[in-house]
Structure 1
């Protein structure tokens, strides 16, 4: 059975970098970033990519059916026993849809949800400092932050009730953060 770890956090929390570094250390871990998957689809020029672009270019959530198709496809194709997906779920609806899928799934178990906590100020500094694309400006950042924080309490409560939420302080050195997340994941597999 594959063990799935979800890493959530504000834009700029470092969730993608942390997950990439952890996966690079282990042969049995695959990492997927929903943001990277979506950006790759946009770059491909596909019809799905054009639809995705309309949402991410303004910092909005990609429609749930497209997100679920992308994520489920990635998990099923993973060649490893452990899969880390960062940036998902981003809404209560996404969380519910994923939960519905996992309830009946015999090949994938949600091991944990790891929340990387950073302040809005730190997140904004990081996002504007990296400026990867057109979606990295103050207006879009503020919208992305609101999109992240609005459903956060419900998502935290849901995963806390299931005893699946692990919070990590994301305002330390990258080495400290990665070590703590990696140690936690290793303790759960």
Structure 2
């Protein structure tokens, strides 16, 4: 049975970097970033990539069908039985679509949802300081934060009720955060 770990957090929380480092340190773990998967599709300039770009260039959520297809394909093709996906879910619609998929696939278990919690000030400083792409500017950041925060309480409640939400502070050093998250993931494998 494959075990899935989801990592959620505000833009700039460090969730992708944390997950990448954990996967690098453990060859039993495969990491996928929904943002990176979507940006890679945009870079191909395919029809799907152009459609995705219309959403992410404005800081909006990509349609559920596109996101679920991207994620389920990644899970099915993962070379390991432990999978970390960061940046998902970002809405109740995404959460419900994934939950429905997980109920229909007995070969996959959602082991935990890890929230990397940071202040909005920390998130803003990190995103605007890195300026990785066209979507890293104040206006888009503000929209991305709004999109992240609006469904957050519902998402937290859903996974808390299932007993699988783990909140980790993203305010420390990368080493501290990765060590705490890595130890937690190991305890669930």
Alignment of structure 1 residues 28-177 onto 2, 5 Å: 28-177=28-177
- The whole-number CA distance in structure 1 between the counterparts of 2:135 and 2:159 is 29
Q: RMSD over aligned Cα, in angstroms?
A: 0.4
Partner of 2:13: 13
Aligned residues: 189
Q: Which runs of 5 or more structure 2 residues have no equivalent in the other structure?
A: none
Q: Shift of residue 88 of structure 1?
A: 0.1
In the TM superposition, what is the alpha-carbon distance from 1:27 to its structure 2 partner?
A: 0.9
Deviation at 1:130, TM superposition (A): 0.3
Counterparts of 2:51 and 2:92, CA distance in 1: 21
Give, in whole Å, the separation in 2 of the partners of 1:3 and 1:182. Answer: 15
- Distance (whole Å) between structure 2 residues aligned to residue 33 and residue 66 of structure 1: 14
Q: Deviations over 1:109-157 (max 9, x none)?
A: 0000000000000000000000001100000000000000000000000
Report the Cα distance in structure 1 between the residues aligned to 2:153 and 2:27, rounded to whole angstroms: 34
Measure the CA separation in 1 of the matches of 2:185 and 2:134: 33
TM-score, normalization by structure 1: 1.00
Q: Distance in 1 between matches of 2:104 and 2:137?
A: 40
Q: Give 1:104 shift.
A: 1.5
Which whole-Å deviations, capped at 9, do the CAs of 1:51-99 have from their partners, x for residues lacking one? 0000000000000000000000000000101000000000001000000
Distance in 2 (CA, whole Å) between partners of 1:2 and 1:101 is 14
Structure 1 gaps, min length 5: none
TM-score (structure 2 length as normaliser)? 1.00
